[in-house]
Amino acid sequence: MADAGKKLSSMDASFLYLETPEMPMHVGSMAIFRLPDGYTGDFFEDFKAMIASRLHLAPILKARLEKAPLDIDHPSWVEDDQFDIDRHIFRSSLPAPHDRATLERIVGWMHAKLLNRARPLWEFYVFEGMQDNEIGLYSKMHHACIDGGAGAALTSMIYDVTPVPREVPPPAARTKTGPEPRDIAANFIDSYQALWSKPWDAASNAKSIDLPRSGKSDLGSILFDNAMYQIEAAVKFAGALPTMLKSVSDVVGKITDPKSRDQIAAMASPPTILNKSISSERSFAGVSVSLSEAKALAKQSGGKLNDVVLALSSGVVRRYLLEHNALPAKAMTAAVPISLREEGNTDANNQVFGMICSIATHIADPKERLETIIAQSTKSKEMSHPLRALMPQISNVSMLGAPIMVQILALLYSRSNLSDVLPPAANITVSNVPGPRQTLYAAGAELLHIFPVSISTHGLALNITVQSYRDQLDFGFISGANIIPHVQRMADTLPEELAVLQAAYAAPPAAQSVAS
């Protein structure tokens, strides 16, 4: 019998409701490993056995969705009592010529396929027989389970820091019991008394209030649990009201400030050929550049690594649109996710919001383009900073009946091709996920690369996500294949863009000779 469920937050559940056949809402990666010389084992079986022995470190991997009756409330995660690891880890092989380009094409095709919601929402595919003793691992997990920060935490479960896998203690025995009715009543009375013991100290009580839940999935229990949630939410809202009012005041102040008008105008996105409805096919490509060189550029330009990532993304998009005579005169923009996850938080959920930043595609000079991006990203952060305090309060708004209503609206948006006519909120998505600096291993094989495979949506066909690993930045480009059929051609220009930026910041020959 499965444990009592944990209801999804509104933000996590939104990724389920927005999903359509053309717009899957899972994220993943394409990892490349190298087997040690003389390897004679069975990597697939070793890898599967290792994951099976560590599943208790990431309980979300054994949790399936349980819908609320009539979809009146968000679904819950419950333990899958029919869990079978053979339904989640698969052995695969590549056709000739068994290279990374072939793997990328297959990953693009597979990433367009929806996950089975009757089972835990993740899958691993191990590709053997690649060139140079390499192994490919394509993984995907629904975004309702995880964000970039939580994905980094899962990395520590899958990988080791030595070729010899570490010993992981088995899970402790536990008893699966649900709350008794009298316990629920007692907890409710205790919480009620605590709530009103200091009625005017809402700020302190708001953080600690924790009303009881039945944890059951029948209609009556769902209504009871939702009532408890609404009471909690109201109290927490009252406790956070001073902070929220200050945030709203700051936002209004920035919007009405004449100095901010230019920045608001810069955040408006021009229509482009990238901002159309996408098909149910994907094109994917991965490419790596030096992390040290990118950091050196950031230091030389007075910016951050994120600014260099934006500049590189801007450069490759600018080249592509120029080749197709489709570069807009106005600067394009990028939607940039920003993590709200506190240091050390490894919860398997979503804690993120985003900002819109100009990527200065209208500027031909690479140095001027990067410096413009640095200035614009700084202003965008200042504009979005007041919203950080609001996000925890508005990201978990719950309303009975919302799930089915949002799903109907998402399907209507997808089928109506509204993204072809509406102004785009942004032109591309660019995300930077910090990763480990040390060499990692899985089942004895050395991890060479870990290319992110993210989400394309209607109106935002191109997603560029980068993860750092060792001394490299691994970029993953994914797009709707009807918009960019061969995104590899765009990705191939990224090293050239890095070289162009480096040349722009290189010391003049005369200065070099004087320094020597």
For residues 508 and 514, the answer to whether their CB atoms sit within 8 Å is no
280 has a pLDDT exceeding 60: yes
H or E stretch at 311: helix 305-323
Task: Give me the CATH code for the 263-397+423-437+454-507 domain, please.
Answer: 3.30.559.30
**Residue 187: other Cβ atoms inside 10 A:** 16
Looking at residue 194, its amino acid is A
Most confident of the ranges 58-72, 135-149, 180-194, 427-441? 427-441
The whole-number pLDDT of residue 182 equals 47
Contact assessment for residue 494 and residue 475, using Cβ atoms and an 8 Å cutoff: yes
Token pair in block for residue 467:
């993860």
pTM beyond cutoff 0.75: yes
Domain boundary assignment for the chain: 263-397+423-437+454-507
Confidence check: pLDDT of 318 > 80: yes
**Measured CA angle at 362 (ends 356, 367), to 5 deg:** 90
Give residue 239's pLDDT.
57
Using CA atoms in the order 28, 34, 38, 41, what is the torsion angle rounded to 10 degrees?
A: -10
Look at residue 279 in the predicted model and tell me its pLDDT.
94
CB 334 within 8 A of CB 428: yes
Q: What is the mean pLDDT of residues 486-493?
A: 96
User: Is residue 143 among the annotated active site residues?
Assistant: yes
Catalytic residue among 88, 143, 449, 458: 143
Where residue 189 falls among pLDDT bands split at 50, 70, 90? very low
* Percent of the chain topping pLDDT 90: 53
* Lowest-confidence region among 184-198, 287-301, 349-363, 387-401: 184-198
